[in-house]
Structure 1
Amino acid sequence: MTDLIERETTATFREADDAIVSARRAFPDWARTPAGERAAALKAAAADLRARADEMAELNHHETGKLLDEAKGGVEAGAATLEQYAELGPTHRGRSLQGGWDATDVMVPEPRGVVLALTPWNDPVAVACGLLGAALATGNTVVHKPSERCPQLGAIMTEILAAHLPGDVLRCVSGDGRVGAQLAAHPEVDLIAHVGSTATGRSISAAAATSGAKVLLENGGNDPLIVDGDVDPAWAAEQAALGSFANAGQICVSVERIYVTRDLAPAFLDALVEQARKRPDEIPMGRLVDTRLRDEVHAQVSEAAADGAELLAGGALPEGDGSFYPATVLTGCEPTMRIMREETFGPVAPVRVVDDFDQALREACDDRYGLAATVLTNSMAHAQRAWRELPVGTVKVNAVFGGAPGGAAQPHGASGEGFGYGPELLDEMTRMKVVHLSPAPR
């Protein structure tokens, strides 16, 4: 791995510009490549990626701290996603319309051109494979900028895919936000797909408003978990802990704020504290990606405690070097606290005790983000109300994680816009051309 770590990790502005221009030159030939051939290239890339899963997982662990098993799972998920788009790409089709008897309208999907994929560090392989796979399967060329927090992993993953493609169809550009901003503002970019922070997403939207590029955004979330009064408190605490502490809380759809009814709160909080104290000795939990993020998480926790929240577990910086942060449980949280209003990208479970389900749902809905939400309940009526009223892209009932293969969702509000995965992502990566066919007069 030593030779990988010594690679240059920041592109110059000239190199970034060259990547876009080269992708533009490669686009016409790749767009004309039969869909079956593009699919075969993706399948070969998926097999290569899967064969190097252990190597990729070790590099992910080195750069971001992601647990090895979870990192390998991300690589395998990425390979499966490439295979999924290899199957879906050739079947992606438009439709025909009958006008007059002697005329037909054909609606044909066409690739947009150059796609810029700006991908995150918290699940770098799986997320990137989704965006790159859908873009390539539909005939676009791609410039990929991985997060500066995992530049080597992003570069190697892109190289694995690019080895099965014609030259310049897929390029990687490494760098920080300055490089990303240059790429996003480039006039030759036709679509920008970004998974990351809301602040960055808004700056991308502003750049695209000038260039005319289409934008797909999956940005920050502040996902609520509602714990109804009729569920088993120990099971609910396991779900809450999984949602709050998995990958050290560094998941886009992590549980960010918890609402529990007053009658269930004592037993639920006891069980949640027990779950927190099992990590990492009994239940593995990795570190945060770096000390910068750890300090941001701790600042939110400390601010909440200063404003009256009660620390029941965690909340203290460990001694020594490193970026580990303990699984933390807070209660007595108020709606106005920053920890309840903003995303906390760490293993923190802020709990608000409410009078009943109505109050929980009302407060869960009162938020500018709209990525996902979870409700734990035995009441079908409450479940129905929750999924209908919560202004988010995904509502999960009685499971904080999960979903059918091929599913898709659209984030709401400050969490972004557009489909970021599933078959619908193929629609986002293409534009529809209507062809009206009628006979010439004789």
Structure 2
Amino acid sequence: MTSTSIPPAELTVLSPHDGTPVGTLPCAGADEVRDAVATARAAALDWARTSPEERGRWVRAAADALADHAEEVAGLNTRETGKLPQEALGGVMAGVGTLHQYAELGPVHRGHSLRGHALASDYTVAEPRGVVAAITPWNDPVAVAAGLLGAALVTGNTVVHKPSERCPHTGARLGEILAGVLPEGVLVTVTGGPETGQILTEQAGLDVLAHVGSTATGVAIAHAALSTGAHVIRENGGNDPLVVDDDVDPVWAAEQAAIGAFTNAGQICTSVERVYVHRAIAEPFLEALAAEARRRNADQALAPLVDRRMREAVHAHVLHALEHGATALAGGTIPEGPGSHYPATVLSGCTEDLPVITEETFGPVAPVRIVDSFEEGLRWAAGGRYGLAATVLTGRIAHAQRAIAELPAGTVKVNNVFGGAPGGAAQPRRASGAGFGYGPELLDEMTQVKVVHVEMPPTP
């Protein structure tokens, strides 16, 4: 894979709220990217030799620095991506918490003692891989970046970070804050669009390519790694199903569906992207879900989509569904005025061949298909090319256990669309990626294991 385009000189971001310019940043070209990788490589040996405890102290200091600038970074995030202020601040503080978590976990990340000869020692050592390229998304830019950066740094790797071109000011300021308290060269940030990202992933001096974002970009990164030999970690797109059984309260189920489909305007990797509801409760469920959507639209409780390009893609899925027999019970039209707002939308009468069902829409859209049994809903939910997460709402333990066993997803949630314990981790499947992208297991992804055998020489 070779670079085919030269990055533009600058990157301008427009506000998704009203279309006004947020600011302009330079795009890193081939020379700047090579220099960034070389800087990280030059710092790698000393950083790897730093004790895990000391690295933990550095990462903890970086977390504290981010906390001191939380309001500033959250404000940039809101201006660039449209994220609601409270949610943007929550994302920054989640990033602070993640950095603190890895600062504690890093020093206790350890190898294993192996059982060999009684007069020999056998064990494994976890060593840093080297230089990590972290390519992070715009929909939760600080929290996601903090996970990859924290795990990489605390295990002794240096990092070149490329934030999304949709929030470069947020990513650049994050890099300034963190790098400002870390040893020189340990964390380097480059800004730019897809061209800059492609140049970065093709660098031979990288040991890890860590990516959270679209499936198409993840596939391109995996192809690049075939040439460079870099270890790949990627969490990519999802098309997460929600299966609603006939024994649950339809109003509560509709609230769960609305939370899953409309939070952050549907711009979450694990958003509910398709709903399979049992025919026995379909009518009250759809009424309640449409009411939830209309309430959010009336209260203007939804953030805008990140830009008009995203809005066009979301609306194309909705229009295609409407042209092929679906009905909009709420939303479904582009509002007048500036910015890239899109209403919470409920589609009934959806069939399995619609892109709004088969692909990742990534907007505040809840496409609903009515099924005649829980088994039918489970069968449809298990289909498709993605495997990020799935949710079932049921009061039957047998149905819950069957869903857990049969749904081919990295995460299965029962009776809570966004439930999960602290420290959880998951392996995406199929087109949704590969490797652990967060949690304690990410420390394993960022290290490589060396097996050691030691015994005494023969006595003369």
Q: Deviations over 1:74-131 (max 9, x none)?
A: 0000000000000000000001113111111120000000000000000000000000
Residues of 2 paired with 1:303 and 1:368: CA distance? 20
SS of 1:305's equivalent? helix
8 Å CA contact 1:249, 1:348 repeated in 2: yes
1:6 Cα offset (Å): 4.7
Segments of structure 2 that go 5 or more residues without pairing to the other structure are: 1-20
8 Å CA contact 2:65, 2:181 repeated in 1: no
Q: 1:439 to 1:28 in 2, by over 3 A?
A: same
- What code does the residue aligned with 1:69 have? Q
Root mean square deviation of aligned Cα? 1.1
What is the aligned partner in structure 2 of residue 190 from structure 1? 207
Residues of 1 paired with 2:388 and 2:30: CA distance? 33
> Is 1:410 aligned to residue 437 of structure 2?
no
Select the residue among 33, 37, 58 that pairs with 1:16: 33
> Is 1:104 aligned to residue 121 of structure 2?
yes
SS of 2:60's equivalent? helix
> Is 1:154 aligned to residue 171 of structure 2?
yes
8 Å CA contact 2:210, 2:232 repeated in 1: yes
Of 137-146 and 5-14, deviating more is 5-14
8 Å CA contact 1:9, 1:151 repeated in 2: no
- What code does the residue aligned with 2:339 have? G
Give the TM-score normalised by the residue count of structure 1. 0.98
Residues of 2 paired with 1:366 and 1:40: CA distance? 46
8 Å CA contact 2:25, 2:168 repeated in 1: no
- What code does the residue aligned with 1:128 have? A
SS of 1:361's equivalent? helix
Residues of 2 paired with 1:240 and 1:399: CA distance? 10
Select the residue among 313, 320, 325 that pairs with 2:330: 313
Residues of 2 paired with 1:8 and 1:54: CA distance? 21
What is the aligned partner in structure 1 of residue 446 from structure 2? 429
- What code does the residue aligned with 1:409 have? A
SS of 2:296's equivalent? coil
8 Å CA contact 2:160, 2:189 repeated in 1: yes
> Is 1:82 aligned to residue 99 of structure 2?
yes
> Is 1:50 aligned to residue 63 of structure 2?
no
Of 81-90 and 44-53, deviating more is 44-53
Residues of 2 paired with 1:317 and 1:131: CA distance? 36
8 Å CA contact 1:311, 1:331 repeated in 2: yes
8 Å CA contact 1:276, 1:313 repeated in 2: yes
Q: 1:271 to 1:13 in 2, by over 3 A?
A: same
Give the TM-score normalised by the residue count of structure 2. 0.94
1:7 Cα offset (Å): 5.4
Percent of aligned pairs with the same amino acid: 61
Q: Deviations over 1:247-291 (max 9, x none)?
A: 000000000000001111000000000000011443721100000
What is the aligned partner in structure 2 of residue 240 from structure 1? 257
8 Å CA contact 2:22, 2:80 repeated in 1: no
1:240 Cα offset (Å): 0.2
8 Å CA contact 1:248, 1:346 repeated in 2: yes
What is the aligned partner in structure 2 of residue 25 from structure 1? 42
Alignment of 1:269-288 (within 5 A): 269-282=286-299, 284-288=301-305
Q: Deviations over 1:359-379 (max 9, x none)?
A: 000010011100000000000
> Is 1:357 aligned to residue 374 of structure 2?
yes
SS of 1:263's equivalent? helix
- What code does the residue aligned with 1:391 have? P
8 Å CA contact 1:309, 1:333 repeated in 2: yes
8 Å CA contact 1:134, 1:425 repeated in 2: yes
Residues of 2 paired with 1:339 and 1:26: CA distance? 46
> Is 1:205 aligned to residue 190 of structure 2?
no
8 Å CA contact 1:9, 1:152 repeated in 2: no
Segments of structure 1 that go 5 or more residues without pairing to the other structure are: none
Residues of 2 paired with 1:340 and 1:149: CA distance? 26
Select the residue among 121, 124, 131 that pairs with 1:114: 131
8 Å CA contact 2:391, 2:414 repeated in 1: yes
1:8 Cα offset (Å): 2.4
> Is 1:290 aligned to residue 307 of structure 2?
yes
8 Å CA contact 2:236, 2:431 repeated in 1: yes
